[in-house]
Structure 1
C-alpha cells in the first residue's frame, strides 16, 4: 500500500464527496423532524388535539409544497408556526450550549491537571487538610471556605475553586497590570483569617482593603514617605531588633540590601559597611540610644561613644573591631563610613526617622503582639533613590521572625495563620535571606506570598542562586500574563512537559483507501502560549502535582464587592484630600 500521490484534477474536496449525501440527508431529516414535532405540538396547544400526520416522505413533500397548514388544517396557522419555531429554538439553544461546553473543554490543553490530580486542592480536600493543620477547627462541623485555605482561583475552563493549604508558601510572577493586586493581593488581605502583613509601593491595595480589615482588628499604617498621605499614628522601635549581634547584623543587612542590587555580590565596601552598621546598631540598643545618635556616630568616625557603649555592655570583641575600623587607614575608614552613610541615608529624613523613634504621644507597634492578633500592618514605601526600603524590609522581617517565635510557643504553628504579602518585594522589601526563610515559614503557619514582575527581577536582587532557591522553596507558583523573559518561559515550558499528539493520514492504493494514525511528542504549552496567557489567568505549579491552568478571581467580581467598592472610593477621596492639603502647606 502506498500513499496516494497528488494528481491533476484532484483536490482535498474530493475526499469529502462521500460524506455530502449522508450529511444532507441528516440535515433534511432533522429539519423535517423538528417541523413535524413542532407543528403537532402547536396544533395540540391551540385546541386541535394531538393529531400528528404520518411521518413519511409524502408528508415531507406536502410540507415543502403546500406548507404546514395543509398538514394541520383544523389548527391555527399562528399556533402551528409558533410550535415549529419553538422546537427549532430549543434545538438551536442545545446546539449552542454543546458547542460552548466543547470549546470550554478545549481551552485546557491536554496534559494539564484536572479535578482528579487536584483533588487535594478542591473544596473537600482543602477542608480535610485545614482540619489536620488547624486544631481550632476540630469541633467545627461546617467550615467557611476561607477557613480551609488560600483561594488561588478557579480551575480552567469551568472547574471548581482551588485552594492552597496553610503550610504552602507562594511565589507569583506577573507583569504589571496582569492581576497581581486585584486577583491576588486584595483577595488575600480580605480573606485572611489571622494577622496580615502587606508591603507595597502603591496605595491601591490599602485603599480597597482598609475598611474591611478594620472590621477584623486594628489597622496599622506605616507610611513614612506618604504613599497614602497618612498622618503618622504609630511608631516602631527598630533598634529593638538589634538587642543581639545576630539581630543587629540582620538590621544592618536590610539597609545594605536596599542599595545593593545583588545580595550574592557584595564587595569589600558593602561588607565592611554592614559590619560597621552592625556595631553601631548594637551599641545604640545596649546603650539605650536612638537613631539620631547613630547618625551622629556615622557622621563623625572619631566619636568613641559607640566603642565605650559596647565595652560597657561586655562586648569587647565587637568594640575592638569597630575601633580597628576607626583607627585604620584614613582612606579605608572614610570609604567604609561613607558607604555606611549611603546605606542608612533614608534615616537622614526626619519624616522617616520619626516612624522608628520612640514617641510617648503615639501608640507603639509591637511585632510580637501583632503575630497573635487579627490586626493588619500596611508597610508602604517608594522605590528607587531615597526610598525607605531598608526600613520597610526591617519591619517586615521583624514581623515574620516574631511570627516564627510565636508559632514555636504555640506548639509549632500559628492558628489562625498569619498572611504575609510581599508586593513589589524586589523594590521595597529586599530581605536578603528571603529564599532561606521560605523553607520553613509555611511549617510555622505563616502564609507568605512574594509578588514579582519577572524572574529576572528576582535575580537582580537575590542573584541566580538565591532566586533558584526561592523558586525551589515555593510550594505554590502562579505564573500570569506578560512574562517576556524568553529563557525563563522556555524553562517553564519544559517543566510543564510534553504529551502525545495523534496525526491521522489517509492513503489510497489499488486495494482501496486506508487510514493510519501516528503519534509524536509535542509541548503541552509552548513558550509562546505561556507568554501570551490572557490577563486574569495563571499557570499553577504546585509541588507534586501536574501543572494546571487557573482563572484568578478578582475582588470586584465577588459577593460584597459593592460595599468594598464604596469604602475604597471613600478612602481614595480621603487620600486625595490629604495630598491636596499637604500640597498647600
Structure 2
C-alpha cells in the first residue's frame, strides 16, 4: 500500500472518453453549423449523414461536397458562428468566475468583502459624514472620498483610507515610498499640505501642481532644492508659554539624541536650560542671535532678568542655579545645549528663522486654513537643520489642531502631512503621542520610515510600539530585512488551513483522503520578498491585505506632471550651477559636481 499518488495515474482512464467527447462535440458543431449556413443561403434544409465519412469528406473536398448547391461561404459562416457563440459564452462565464475568485480570500488574506470600509461606496459615505462641506455635492470626485492607498491584488478594486486615519509606512530605499506614496498623496491632497524630506524629488514633481492650488512655501535652509529664500519663520513664535518653549527645546535635543526615550543627565539638563532661554527670548522680544549669545556666555544675566520681569521667578532661579553651579557641570550643560542648536550658528540657516521685513512671514495658523503647501527640506547627519524642521512641522500640525477646534472638531478640507524621512529630518519627540488624536482633528499624517528599527532608534522601542499601535493604517513594502520585525508581522497576519490530499492504493482499489494543517498566511521570507510597488496593508478592524501601489507616473495626467517636473529639475540644476559658479569664480563649470542628482522619476 502506498500513501503517495503516482503522477497522472488517476487521470489516465479518463483520457479516452474525454477525447471522444471533444471529437463528438466538434463534429456536432460542424454538422449543425454547416447545415444552418447552407439553409440560410437558399440551398434548403438538407443535413448530411451524421457519420465519420461526412467529416472526412468535408476535410478533403470542402463544404460544397457535403452541402451541394450551397456556396462555400454559407456553410463556412454557419460553422464559424456555431463554434464562436459557445466559445464566447464560455469565456464570459470564465471571466465571471475569475472575477468572483479574485474577490475571495487568497491564502488567508482579505477579500474585497472584508475591506468594505475602504471601498468607494463606504469611503464616500464616511467622507460626507466627516466633511460638512461635501453636503449636497454629487457626485464626489474620487479624491474627496478619502486618501488613495492602492488597488487590492490581484485585480482591484481601489482602496481608500478615511480622512481621520493616520498612517505609518515602512519600506526600504528604492521600494516606491516617493513615487507610490509621498508624491501621489501630495498631488491628491484636498487641503493644505506639509511635506518633509531630505531630497528634492517629491518637491520637483509636485511643486507646479501645488502652485496651481495655492501658495507654495519652500523652507530650504540647506539648499536641497537650492530654492531662494522667499520667506521667514519666527522660531520663537510659539515659545511664549512654558509648554511651547519646552516643545521647541525637545525638538532640538531630539535632533542630536538618537533615542529620545533615554535622556542622560546632560541631555535633560540641556533641554531645561534651552526651555528657559527660549522662553526668555520670546517674552523679551529678543532674536535667535541674542539666544546664541546667552549660550556662548553663561554669565550673561539677561535671560534671568527677563524671566524675573515676566513673573517666572521659579524658572529664573533654576536658570540662575545652573549658572552658579559647579563650573564643570555648568560648562557641560551649556556645551550640550550649544551642540543641540549648533545648526543656528550657520548664518544661512539662521536667516530663515530671523525676522526679515523684506520677505513675507510664514504663519502656520493661516496656512492650515487654505490650500497652501509647505515644503520642509533638510539634510540629515551632522549640521542638519533637523531641529528647525521638526519645530516648524510641529508648529503647523498644532496649528491645525487649534483650527479644527474652532471648526467644531475637524479641519475641512483636511490637512495632509507627509513626514518623509521622519527619523532623519523631522524628529518630533512626542510624535507617537500626537498620532492618537491628530487623525480625529482632520490632520492626516503619513510617516515614512525605512524600517521599524530606524524608528526605534529615534523614539525608543516603547515609542515606536506606541506609534505602531496608534497608526490606523500601516503599509509594509519591499525590502524589510529586520528578521525579528518581519517574523512579528508574519504572526500578526496569522495562519490559515491548508488542505492536503493523499491517495492510498491496494488490491481493492484506491482511496483518497484529506488532512488539514496550519500554515502562515505570509511567511517571513515572503514578506521580505514583496515585489517593488506592492505593500502589505494592515488596517484597523480588517484582515491584512496585499495591495498594489499606484505610482504617479502611471496615472492619466502623468505626461503633464512629468513635463512640469523636468522643468523644475532643470531649474534646480541651474540654481545649483549658479551657486557653485559664484562660490568658485575660477572653477571650470564643466567640472561642477552637483549636490542633487536629477531624480529618475522626472526623467
TM (norm. structure 2) is 0.90
* CA shift in 2, pair 1:144/1:301, >3 Å: same
Q: Which of the residues 200, 222, 234 maps onto 1:237?
A: 234
Whether 2:132 is the aligned partner of 1:135: answer yes
Q: Which of the residues 456, 466, 471 maps onto 1:469?
A: 466
Whether 2:9 is the aligned partner of 1:14: answer yes
Task: Name the counterpart of 1:568.
Answer: 565
* CA shift in 2, pair 1:473/1:64, >3 Å: same
Partners of 2:39 and 2:280 lie apart in 1 by 98
Partners of 2:487 and 2:64 lie apart in 1 by 66
Q: Which of the residues 517, 523, 528 maps onto 1:520?
A: 517
What is the deviation of 1:559? Answer: 2.3
Partners of 1:414 and 1:343 lie apart in 2 by 34
Return 5+ residue gaps in structure 1 as ranges: none
Could you tell me whether the CA contact under 8 Å between 1:498 and 1:522 is conserved in 2? yes
Task: Name the counterpart of 2:57.
Answer: 62
Task: Name the counterpart of 2:433.
Answer: 436
Q: Which of the residues 171, 174, 179 maps onto 1:174?
A: 171
Partners of 1:77 and 1:418 lie apart in 2 by 71
Partners of 2:201 and 2:45 lie apart in 1 by 66
Deviations 1:374-412 (A, max 9, x none): 111010111111111111000000001111111111111
Partners of 1:577 and 1:107 lie apart in 2 by 53
- Cα RMSD (Å) of the superposition? 2.7
Return 5+ residue gaps in structure 2 as ranges: 583-603
What is the deviation of 1:184? Answer: 1.1
Task: Name the counterpart of 1:369.
Answer: 366
Deviations 1:180-208 (A, max 9, x none): 11111111111111111010111111111
Deviations 1:410-452 (A, max 9, x none): 1111111111110110111000100000000011011111011
Describe the SS at the equivalent of 1:171.
Answer: strand
Aligned length: 580
Task: Name the counterpart of 1:252.
Answer: 249
Q: In terms of mean alpha carbon deviation, does 50-59 or 435-444 score higher?
A: 50-59
Partners of 2:533 and 2:39 lie apart in 1 by 51
* CA shift in 2, pair 1:186/1:56, >3 Å: farther
* CA shift in 2, pair 1:407/1:64, >3 Å: same
Task: Name the counterpart of 2:357.
Answer: 360
What is the deviation of 1:215? Answer: 1.5
Partners of 1:583 and 1:111 lie apart in 2 by 56
Could you tell me whether the CA contact under 8 Å between 1:136 and 1:415 is conserved in 2? yes
Whether 2:210 is the aligned partner of 1:210: answer no
Whether 2:499 is the aligned partner of 1:502: answer yes
TM (norm. structure 1) is 0.92
What is the deviation of 1:108? Answer: 6.3
Deviations 1:450-475 (A, max 9, x none): 01111111111111100100000001
Task: Name the counterpart of 2:193.
Answer: 196
Task: Name the counterpart of 1:489.
Answer: 486
Partners of 2:397 and 2:489 lie apart in 1 by 30
What is the deviation of 1:42? Answer: 7.4
Could you tell me whether the CA contact under 8 Å between 1:539 and 1:547 is conserved in 2? yes
Partners of 2:36 and 2:400 lie apart in 1 by 71
Task: Name the counterpart of 1:4.
Answer: 2
* CA shift in 2, pair 1:102/1:327, >3 Å: same
* CA shift in 2, pair 1:72/1:299, >3 Å: farther
* CA shift in 2, pair 1:228/1:53, >3 Å: farther
Deviations 1:85-106 (A, max 9, x none): 7887888888888499749839
Task: Name the counterpart of 1:408.
Answer: 405
Partners of 1:291 and 1:337 lie apart in 2 by 16
Deviations 1:314-371 (A, max 9, x none): 1111111111111111111111111111111111110100000000000000001111
Could you tell me whether the CA contact under 8 Å between 1:235 and 1:358 is conserved in 2? yes
Could you tell me whether the CA contact under 8 Å between 2:3 and 2:503 is conserved in 1? no
Describe the SS at the equivalent of 2:255.
Answer: helix
Task: Name the counterpart of 1:24.
Answer: 19
Task: Name the counterpart of 1:285.
Answer: 282
Partners of 1:43 and 1:374 lie apart in 2 by 71
Q: In terms of mean alpha carbon deviation, does 100-109 or 51-60 score higher?
A: 100-109
Task: Name the counterpart of 2:590.
Answer: none
Q: Which of the residues 58, 66, 73 maps onto 1:71?
A: 66
Q: Which of the residues 384, 387, 400 maps onto 2:384?
A: 387
Whether 2:328 is the aligned partner of 1:331: answer yes
Partners of 1:539 and 1:548 lie apart in 2 by 6
Partners of 1:283 and 1:302 lie apart in 2 by 15
Partners of 2:457 and 2:206 lie apart in 1 by 30
* CA shift in 2, pair 1:61/1:207, >3 Å: same
What is the deviation of 1:38? Answer: 6.6
Partners of 1:153 and 1:68 lie apart in 2 by 55
What is the deviation of 1:30? Answer: 4.9
Whether 2:580 is the aligned partner of 1:583: answer yes
What is the deviation of 1:179? Answer: 1.4
Task: Name the counterpart of 1:150.
Answer: 147
Q: In terms of mean alpha carbon deviation, does 343-352 or 151-160 score higher?
A: 151-160
Partners of 2:222 and 2:466 lie apart in 1 by 32
Could you tell me whether the CA contact under 8 Å between 1:434 and 1:470 is conserved in 2? yes
* CA shift in 2, pair 1:56/1:157, >3 Å: farther
Deviations 1:236-295 (A, max 9, x none): 001111111111111011111111111111111111111111111111111111111111
* CA shift in 2, pair 1:488/1:301, >3 Å: same
Partners of 1:343 and 1:251 lie apart in 2 by 11
